[in-house]
Structure 1
Amino acid sequence: MDPKEFKKLYTTTIKLYSFKKKYHGYMIELEDSTLFLDLQRSNFGIYFDLNIRVFIEGAFDIFYKKNPDQIKKNIGSIFMRQPVEYDKFFRLENDLTDIERKTGLVKLFELVILPLKDKVKTYNDILRSINNKELKVLPPVQEELHKLVKSS
């Protein structure tokens, strides 16, 4: 599969899950955050990485919903990539069939992205996920979350 075909496959897959195209990726606005996904093509081979970014509304006094251009300028409050077990679906040099690759992307959304969406919906959901060790964040982000919970 070539990169153009993969991007088309990724686009048709992500649209199944109500993500909207915005800037150079796809996003979904949640109650207290925005989940943003974008593909990054490697300069070192024929593969992609999926950047998964969560923008927490009001963290560090940045309000993404009022000023969505901030999404272009910031990495987000939480940043991660696809879990390593899904890397093979983003590596175009391997021998996966188109059906195997599509099945892998769907599995990624069903088992990783959609559950993540539920874990980052509200400030309390994010804190609960951190406490349950389902999410890793930098200490300043966790401090900001505690401030936001107290003020809401």
Structure 2
Amino acid sequence: MDSKELLNVIAAALTSVTDPHYYEDERGFQGEFYAQLRLRLRDLVLPEGALLREEYQKRLAQHGLRIRPDIILHEPFDPGRHRGRDQGNHAVMELKRRAIPGTTADAFSNLVAMIDTLNYSLGVFINVDSSKTWTESVPDSHRNRIVCLAALIDENGNPQVVRG
């Protein structure tokens, strides 16, 4: 799966969240963003069986960590197709509303753990209702696999996406 193409679809889904009400809380924004992203993923050629999932619990015994990422794009584990649970994992997304240093550090910690343990190809941090991407806070070791975006409504009432 092409990461650039996927990021373009993610950005398009973010700019499709047009009602300012969704920007008032992280969970409401996440639900609408998920709905918009799911619609747009139909335009991509996804790997066989790939699913978009919200808050899919990762269990220590099965996955090697205990994290509930906001959104993932993955192929559910199938022993007939995958040698391990670290295969078929395409993108993991963490959303924060008006992120501050502490919440940003937690989100990057989760993204790094998911990338390192389950071999996600791409980690995406999305700062909702802000223009700050926090790109400067991405650990150096993961700059090639974590992308930072910010989504906000501008002064004219239009949704905007800032890429870090």
Normalization by structure 2: what TM-score? 0.27
Which entry has the higher C-alpha Rg, 1 or 2? 1
Structure with more of its chain in helix, by fraction? 1
Normalization by structure 1: what TM-score? 0.29
